[in-house]
């Protein structure tokens, strides 16, 4: 978590004192007490005795509106708090560079899945870096982080100021009546939010102010085609065997190719998980950095918070370290299989020691190969850019690491700086002797100001500026830096600490003459060729170091992994019985569903009307191959039609017809609701004038 010091601090505001008073946690039971009145000590007991559900936030007040963002993403249109009445709302104030914001996403996904009908999460993207203000770049971040809720581009920080936020991430809670309940700054608030959301749901359900209609959003991923590479992260060259390893991060696998682009192997099934085993069985979760020792490939399995190994000879994946659970912010070391890790991002081996750029706690960690221990190596854990001894100097989200065999070179993405760190000052890796020193970019500014000293400036030492660099590679006394948010590859002369632009126009693009990148993140060098993971362009680029000519490296035969699909069950289903239908049929029964929608709402064309039919009891009225098959109806206006085949022309039975549909304001509004109705339709065949059944569908 880091703060914007220019924003008024919440504790200085009377409004914030009221907000913070809403969130009081009793540590023993994680029970949330909300504005308990001092002059009514028996109020809670009395309410319970009366059988009433107590309002957990009796002194909550109307929340500010959500107006002020420049664009909405992951949704068909803007959403207002009025649209959200009846739902518990969590506003996630985030910026896509922030590792702490990434750590919040699994918590939000957990809550969204647990409270799918009662909760709506809205991301408020209030940018730190200039590059993060662009809507297109936020869209790519939504796809990369697989976010499934609406996001406001709050580029001017208008919504941020309305809610008086001062740090990323911050989670704001709003009740179903549009009242502001409280704020939870930082990460690690899953249990607290789970508790208070449960209390809010119980209270508003008893009050009748809870809307449990599921909602649907027009997600960016629905318009994004599958690609052979998906946000590739880091690269590794094995010159001895003419191989290139690619962390195909969002396809959750490692791709192995020849330096000429011919596909050699794919490690991992593509499914998200942490499963060990053969190449086809193994699972990763957004892997990043890699390093190679003999036939063992080491992988930073970032979102699993684990270190993985691949035995390239046996073609097997195993877990080296980490439990799969994210460590607390300043966790200590310990045994490999017992120690929790925190977003390992890149790896490097020097003299038999594996060094890990541990982005989450803003530290480097180390593991001596062959031992069973892992521990912090450099960085105090405070997020900043300060020079000093290994245990007192500060790093800021280290994301790239390389070595000349004597020292480590690290890019600190949040501090936009290149650092030099002593390796193995003594045999005992826990000994703090050694130093952290800044080569280029600002450092040792007061109150963490170095975190906001970014830009695109060539120059020497402190005068140079980067913008969220992620990748690094060392070559003949020069450090190449993937200056991600400047969409450039920069060069740093280690003798003079002079930074210059090697390639890139400073604007995202796909051109090769002149060369353009879109948030490049990883690099590797073989001979005179620089290989670049052009992350947001989902491609690899090869650049000749002598003449700077570039070409795309297409991996022949590489295909996207097979998508993992799962048919979701009907939600919010209610049963509506209609009178017996007397029909004369030929090949089937025709249905017309007339939707009675609220004023101003229309069917959502992006969510087609789906139906399925079953028969009650042991009836064979409908052929077995047509039962419980979800199919798409034909829609026109506010009606939908479909035909159900029958196996006989006479007889009777009962059909169970489920219809699922989405509707939203003007047919394209931001908040689209989803409803499923199951109609119980008794039929008598051969006894009526037509084969048409008309059903009336009205949202609950």
CATH code, domain with 216: 3.40.30.10
Largest pairwise CA distance in the chain:
95
Question: Are 581 and 554 in a shared domain?
Answer: no
Residue 316, in any domain of the structure: no
Position 41 scores a pLDDT of: 35
Computed over every residue of the chain, the mean pLDDT equals 89
Residue 108, in any domain of the structure: yes
My answer on whether omega of the bond before 169 falls inside 30° of 0, hence cis, is yes
Question: Are 556 and 581 in a shared domain?
Answer: no
Sign of the dihedral defined by the CA atoms of residues 190, 194, 195, 197, in that order: positive
Distance in angstroms between the alpha carbons of the first and the last residue of the chain: 42
The length of the chain, given as a count of residues: 700
Residue-wise pLDDT tens digits, 190-249: 999 999 999 999 999 999 999 998 888 888 998 899 999 999 999 999 999 999 999 999
Question: Are 605 and 472 in a shared domain?
Answer: no
CB proximity list for 2: less than 8 A, separation 6 or greater: 98, 100, 167, 168, 383, 414, 448, 451
Rounded CA-CA distance 67/90 in Å is 16
Taking residues 653-661, report their average pLDDT. Answer: 94
pLDDT bracket for residue 601 (50, 70, 90): confident
Are the beta carbons of 77 and 604 closer than 8 angstroms? no
Taking residues 260-287, report their average pLDDT. Answer: 97
Q: What is the CATH number of the domain that holds 602?
A: 2.60.40
Position 51 scores a pLDDT of: 55
What is the DSSP secondary-structure string of 192-231?
A: HHHHHHHHHHHHHHHHT------EE---GGGGPPP-SSSS
Residue 515, in any domain of the structure: yes
Are the beta carbons of 73 and 150 closer than 8 angstroms? yes
Is the pLDDT at 164 greater than 60? The verdict is yes
pLDDT bracket for residue 101 (50, 70, 90): very high
Residue-wise pLDDT tens digits, 379-427: 999 999 999 999 999 999 999 999 999 999 999 999 999 999 998 654 5
Residue 422, in any domain of the structure: no
Residue 205, in any domain of the structure: yes
Question: Are 546 and 624 in a shared domain?
Answer: no
pLDDT bracket for residue 669 (50, 70, 90): low
Q: Which domain holds residue 64?
A: 2-222
Position 330 scores a pLDDT of: 65
Rounded CA-CA distance 71/694 in Å is 41
Is the pLDDT at 578 greater than 90? The verdict is yes
User: Of 560, 592, 610, which marks where a domain is finished?
Assistant: 560
Question: Are 518 and 665 in a shared domain?
Answer: no
Question: Are 589 and 537 in a shared domain?
Answer: no
Residue 456: closest CA among 438, 440, 471: 440
Residue-wise pLDDT tens digits, 55-82: 999 999 999 999 999 999 999 889 999 9
Position 6 scores a pLDDT of: 33
Question: Are 77 and 198 in a shared domain?
Answer: yes
Question: Are 499 and 639 in a shared domain?
Answer: no
Question: Are 473 and 531 in a shared domain?
Answer: yes
Position 428 scores a pLDDT of: 53
Residue 162: closest CA among 16, 35, 5: 16
Are the beta carbons of 389 and 372 closer than 8 angstroms? no
What is the DSSP secondary-structure string of 626-683?
A: GTT--EEPEEETTEEEEEEE-S-SSEEEEEEEEEEEEEEETTT-S-EEEEEEEEEEEE
Return the number of other C-beta atoms located less than 10 Å from residue 325's C-beta: 12
Position 263 scores a pLDDT of: 98
Position 8 scores a pLDDT of: 31
Residue 270: closest CA among 290, 288, 291, 248: 248
Residue 133, in any domain of the structure: yes
Is the pLDDT at 433 greater than 90? The verdict is no
Q: What sections of 509-647 are H helices per DSSP?
A: none
User: Of 188, 222, 256, which marks where a domain is finished?
Assistant: 222
For residue 104, give the H/E element and its range. Answer: helix 99-114
Is the pLDDT at 571 greater than 80? The verdict is no
Are the beta carbons of 536 and 508 closer than 8 angstroms? yes
Residue 270, in any domain of the structure: no
Rounded CA-CA distance 140/536 in Å is 7
Residue 283: closest CA among 319, 311, 322: 319
Are the beta carbons of 150 and 79 closer than 8 angstroms? yes
Residue 340, in any domain of the structure: no
Rounded CA-CA distance 177/204 in Å is 9
Is the pLDDT at 574 greater than 60? The verdict is yes
Paired residues of 475 in beta bridges: 478
Determine the Cα angle at 654 with ends 651 and 656, to 5°: 140
User: What is the edge-to-edge ordering of all strands in the sheet holding 550-553?
Assistant: 522-526, 529-534, 539-544, 550-553
Residue 131: closest CA among 536, 501, 554, 445: 536
Question: Are 80 and 192 in a shared domain?
Answer: yes
Q: What is the CATH number of the domain that holds 526?
A: 2.40.10.500
Residue-wise pLDDT tens digits, 1-28: 545 433 333 333 333 333 333 443 322 2
Number of domains in the chain: 3
Question: Are 587 and 529 in a shared domain?
Answer: no
User: Of 155, 190, 222, which marks where a domain is finished?
Assistant: 222
Question: Are 481 and 601 in a shared domain?
Answer: no
């Amino acid at each position: 978590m880091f703060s914007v010091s220019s924003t008024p601090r919440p504790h200085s505001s009377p409004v914030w004192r009221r907000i913070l008073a809403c969130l009081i946690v009793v540590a023993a039971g994680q029970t949330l007490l909300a504005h308990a009145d001092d002059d009514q000590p028996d109020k809670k007991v009395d309410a319970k005795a009366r059988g009433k559900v107590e309002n957990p936030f009796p002194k909550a007040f109307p929340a500010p509106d959500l107006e002020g963002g420049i664009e909405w993403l992951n949704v068909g249109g803007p959403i207002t708090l009025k649209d959200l009445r009846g739902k518990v709302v969590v506003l996630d104030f985030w910026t896509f560079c922030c590792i702490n914001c990434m750590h919040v996403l699994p918590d939000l996904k957990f809550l969204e899945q647990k409270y799918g009908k009662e909760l709506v999460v809205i991301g408020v993207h209030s940018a730190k870096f200039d590059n993060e203000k662009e809507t297109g770049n936020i869209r790519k971040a939504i796809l990369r982080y697989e976010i499934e809720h609406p996001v406001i581009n709050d580029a001017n920080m208008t919504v941020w100021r309305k809610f008086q936020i001062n740090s990323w991430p911050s989670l704001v809670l709003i009740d179903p009546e549009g009242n502001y309940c409280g704020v939870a700054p930082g990460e690690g608030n899953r249990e607290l939010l789970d508790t208070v959301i449960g209390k809010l749901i119980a209270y508003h359900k008893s009050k009748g102010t809870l809307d449990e209609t599921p909602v649907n959003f027009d997600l960016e991923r629905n318009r994004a085609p599958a690609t052979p590479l998906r946000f590739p992260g880091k690269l590794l060259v094995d010159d001895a065997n003419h191989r290139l390893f690619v962390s195909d991060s969002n396809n959750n696998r490692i791709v192995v190719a020849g330096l000429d682009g011919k596909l050699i192997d794919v490690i991992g099934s593509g499914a998200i998980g942490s499963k060990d085993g053969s190449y086809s069985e193994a699972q990763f979760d957004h892997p990043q950095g890699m390093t190679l020792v003999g036939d063992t490939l080491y992988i930073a399995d970032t979102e699993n918070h684990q270190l993985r190994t691949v035995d390239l000879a046996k073609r097997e994946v195993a877990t080296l370290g980490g439990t799969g659970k994210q460590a607390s912010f300043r966790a200590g070391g310990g045994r490999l299989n017992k120690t929790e890790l925190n977003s390992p991002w890149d790896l490097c081996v020097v003299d038999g020691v594996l060094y890990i750029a541990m982005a989450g706690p803003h530290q480097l960690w180390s593991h001596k190969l062959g031992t069973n221990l892992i521990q912090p190596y450099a960085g105090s854990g405070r997020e900043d850019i300060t020079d000093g001894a290994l245990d007192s100097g500060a790093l800021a989200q280290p994301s790239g690491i390389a070595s000349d065999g004597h020292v480590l070179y690290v890019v600190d993405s949040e501090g936009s700086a290149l650092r030099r760190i002593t390796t193995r000052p003594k045999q005992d890796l826990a000994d703090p002797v050694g130093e952290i020193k800044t080569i280029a970019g600002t450092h040792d500014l007061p109150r963490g100001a170095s975190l906001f000293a970014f830009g695109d400036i060539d120059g020497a030492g402190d005068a140079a500026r980067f913008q969220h660099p992620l990748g690094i590679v060392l070559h003949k006394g020069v450090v190449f830096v993937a200056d991600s948010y400047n969409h450039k590859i920069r060069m740093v002369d280690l003798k003079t600490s002079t930074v210059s632009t090697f390639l890139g126009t400073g604007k995202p693009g796909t051109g090769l003459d002149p060369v353009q990148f879109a948030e490049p993140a990883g690099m590797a060098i073989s001979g005179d060729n620089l290989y670049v993971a052009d992350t947001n362009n989902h491609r690899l680029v090869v650049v000749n170091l002598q003449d700077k000519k570039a070409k795309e490296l297409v991996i022949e035969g590489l295909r996207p992994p097979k998508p993992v699909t799962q048919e979701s069950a009907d939600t919010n289903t209610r049963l509506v019985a209609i009178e017996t239908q007397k029909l004369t049929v030929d090949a089937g029964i025709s249905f017309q569903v007339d939707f009675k929608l609220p004023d101003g709402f229309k069917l959502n064309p992006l969510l087609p009307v789906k139906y399925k039919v079953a028969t009650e009891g042991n009836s064979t009225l409908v052929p077995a191959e047509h039962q419980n098959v979800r199919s798409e109806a034909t829609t026109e206006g506010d009606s939908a039609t479909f035909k159900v085949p029958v196996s006989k022309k006479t007889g009777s039975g009962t059909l169970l017809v489920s219809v699922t549909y989405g509707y939203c304001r003007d047919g394209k509004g931001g908040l689209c609701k989803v409803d499923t109705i199951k109609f119980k339709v008794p039929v008598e065949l051969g006894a009526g004038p037509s084969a048409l059944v008309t059903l009336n569908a009205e949202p609950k």
